[in-house]
Amino acid sequence: MGKEFYVKKDLVNLLHNRFGIPKPECFEFVNSIFQEMTDKLAKGEQVKIPSFGTFQVKFQASKDMYDMNTGKERTTEAKYKVRFIPSDKLKQQVNRG
């Protein structure tokens, strides 16, 4: 399936190679996009990218659980989690191979 993971540097190189934009500007552009997405999610807003998917923040309440490593019961902390919901188009492209 190719490379195991894709990092920010790969996006910078893609922009640089495809459009000839200097790498420092590409890096600033990529950072700006991720920062904007982070800011929106931190405010509880959704980030929807058509044909790709939606990032949203969900609250996860604390819960009691059994820790198999220690053999004791413990309570997890309540927290917010970022959830990604892929679009139907992305699902189709991934499954097409």
Span 33-87, pLDDT tens digits: 999 999 999 999 999 999 999 999 999 999 999 989 999 999 999 999 999 999 9
Residue intervals of the chain classified under CATH 4.10.520.10 are: 46-97
pTM: 0.78
Complete DSSP assignment for 53-68: EEEEEEEE---EEEET
CA atoms within 13 A on the CB side of 68: 0
> CA angle, 82 as apex, 89 and 27 as ends, to 5°?
75
Q: Regarding the domain delimited by 46-97, which CATH topology (the fold level of the hierarchy) does it fall under?
A: HU Protein; Chain A (4.10.520)
3-state secondary structure of 74: strand
